[in-house]
Amino acid sequence: MGCASVTLAWMVAVATPALEAQPAPTPFDVIVRGGSVIDGTGAARTRADVGIRAGRIAAVGLPADATAATVIDATGRIVAPGFIDVHTHADELADHPAAAHFARMGVTTVIAGNCGSSPVDVAAALGKIRTTGTAINFATFVGHNSVREAVMGTARRAPTADELTKMEGLVARAMADGAVGFSTGLQYVPGTYAETDEIVALAKVAAKSGGVYASHMRNEGTELEAAVAETLLIGERAGMAVQVSHLKVDAPSRWGASAKALALIDAARARGMRVMADQYLYDAASSNLGIRFPSWALEGGQPAINTRLDDEKTWARIKQEMHKLIRERGLENYSFARIANYPADPSMNGLTIPDVAQKLKGSKELDAQFETMRAMLRAGGASMVYQFMADDDITRILTHPMVSIASDSGLNTLGRGVPHPRGYGNAVRALGLYVREKRVITLEEAVRKMTSLPASQFGFTTRGTIAPGFAADLVIFDEATVTDRATYDKPHQYPDGLGDVLVNGIPVVTRGAQTTARPGQIVTSTR
């Protein structure tokens, strides 16, 4: 007893002057106060204040007297890591530095260069983004189609040994310049003309730099299982992680096949492969008009395409194959196809192919629809929205723990065209429609699917989690009201309920309005 008292007295005598000499705690740059923190790992939310210093999270759980230059009141709201959108076509970020529709749905990092399409000179593209300054962070793949077109044009054949060497060189340089992986778009010209061996050879080059193989597969409906198998085979032979892009079942005749695709992914994971997928949460896809035509008809650029379309015999063959393609999918006509942007006649934007056929050909009959598509492709084609997925597949894919939520969106200009609504709503649709209303997954799981899960796949070791040392990319929203408002008819609508977004510690959205800040950084893999 006496001994303890002596010890205590000694401690008080020594410790008190030291405490008095200690300076006041260093203020933070920003404190996010009073919110419920969902840290991105899938763990249950906790009440904690978050302190930010020099663009990074400095502390989670602060003393009451902590101070900061900026205090964001998050009382009653969720504080989550900023969303990492692994599947975008935001290649032209330097031309749209505000990236408003991404920032306002909470996306703080985009990965561009998907579906085989990217700049070939990645160093120049990243340099332009650095020079311009952007609201959000950026990473990119190097795309197979772009590399192939640079070396071989749109030739429908295998590369020569020399051409393959040239393509390998372009992939190697892009990876050295900071690309996070190699993407394919095997339904698009010219990637669709490539055999598996060519893709493996190029993927191997990206694998040497720790890259991920991301694929818009050869088929997403009628031949879904074969396409998943090819994707996994490429990853296995190249020895690299695989990201199945925008996993879906795009043929009514195959609705339900998502179970088989997910089983193939599970089996590959069980044998040690690092395989993940991503999806957007809509029953319509977005693509070009040409994808509805047989790929052989698209070789050689617009003059060659038009020569085929103008030759009645060839057109008859094209039309026959187009008809076969929709019938195999379980579709009767093109009422599933709506125009997003038709540069030759923007007054058609928003109409379905039967509507356009009625306007141009005076009939909605199937033959008038074929003739309408012929005329549209002849005039340079269009970007399209295709409604042919089922919510059961979307839901099944969403419940799989290795599937991220990603928009597949390019950069939209407010009010221009009738683009797919996912660019304005996808991330928020997860939180509102699929968590709060449909209760398909928990809020913590939805956040994980847009933060730590994609970060782990791509080696972004300092993003996607709220923890000390991580980049201060944060999104603050009201779980009771967060709602996507963009629709197929009226896509240019920002979501509700998403108030504040920080990128590298700097607010880019404050109380629902975008700031002029451009704190985005180039993100590369640590692998």
Question: How far is residue 250's CA from residue 183's CA, in Å, rounded to a whole number?
Answer: 20
To Zn ion, the closest distance from the beta carbon of 246 in angstroms equals 6
Fill in the per-residue mask, 456 to 485: x = in contact with Zn ion (CB under 5 A), - = not in contact: ------------------------------
To Zn ion, the closest distance from the beta carbon of 407 in angstroms equals 11
Which residue, among 208, 209, 203, 279, has the nearest Cα to 242 in the 3D structure?
203
To Zn ion, the closest distance from the beta carbon of 117 in angstroms equals 9
Question: How far is residue 90's CA from residue 425's CA, in Å, rounded to a whole number?
Answer: 15
DSSP of 376-417? HHHTT--EEEEE---HHHHHHHHTSTTEEE----B---TTSS
Which residues does residue 243 pair with via DSSP β-bridges, in sequence order?
214, 276
In the bound state with Zn ion, the residue whose beta carbon lies nearer, of 115 and 357, is: 115
To Zn ion, the closest distance from the beta carbon of 312 in angstroms equals 33
Name which position in 74, 115, 397, 471 contacts Zn ion (CB under 5 A): 115
Q: Residues of 422-436 as b/e, b for ≥16 C-beta within 10 angstroms? A: bbbbbbbbbbbbbbb
DSSP state of 431: I
In the bound state with Zn ion, the residue whose beta carbon lies nearer, of 49 and 220, is: 220
Question: How far is residue 122's CA from residue 318's CA, in Å, rounded to a whole number?
Answer: 37
Name which position in 77, 104, 216, 422 contacts Zn ion (CB under 5 A): 216
In the bound state with Zn ion, the residue whose beta carbon lies nearer, of 372 and 412, is: 412
In the bound state with Zn ion, the residue whose beta carbon lies nearer, of 87 and 429, is: 87
Three-state SS at 433: helix
In the bound state with Zn ion, the residue whose beta carbon lies nearer, of 101 and 216, is: 216
The gap from C-alpha 94 to its chain's centroid, in whole angstroms, comes to 17
* Part in contact with Zn ion (CB under 5 A); list of ranges 108-116, 327-335, 438-446, 489-497: 108-116
Compute how many residues bind Zn ion; rule: CB under 5 A.
2
Which residue, among 391, 516, 518, 501, has the nearest Cα to 107 in the 3D structure?
501
Asked if 248 touches Zn ion (CB under 5 A), the answer is no
* Part in contact with Zn ion (CB under 5 A); list of ranges 112-120, 141-149, 203-211, 427-435: 112-120
In the bound state with Zn ion, the residue whose beta carbon lies nearer, of 143 and 519, is: 143
Phi and psi, residue 353, nearest 5°: -60, -45
In the bound state with Zn ion, the residue whose beta carbon lies nearer, of 112 and 506, is: 112
Q: ∠242-248-253 over CA atoms, to 5°?
A: 135
In the bound state with Zn ion, the residue whose beta carbon lies nearer, of 101 and 218, is: 218
Q: Name which of residues 388 to 407 contact Zn ion (CB under 5 A).
A: none
- Where in 266-372 does DSSP place strands (E)? 275-279, 284-288, 337-341
Fill in the per-residue mask, 174 to 213: x = in contact with Zn ion (CB under 5 A), - = not in contact: ----------------------------------------
The residue type of 363 is S
To Zn ion, the closest distance from the beta carbon of 216 in angstroms equals 3
Q: Name which of residues 39 to 58 contact Zn ion (CB under 5 A).
A: none
* Part in contact with Zn ion (CB under 5 A); list of ranges 121-129, 215-223, 371-379, 443-451: 215-223
Element (H, E) at 234: helix 224-238
Question: How far is residue 93's CA from residue 76's CA, in Å, rounded to a whole number?
Answer: 33
Per the document, the length of the chain is 527
Site of interaction with Zn ion (CB under 5 A): 115, 216
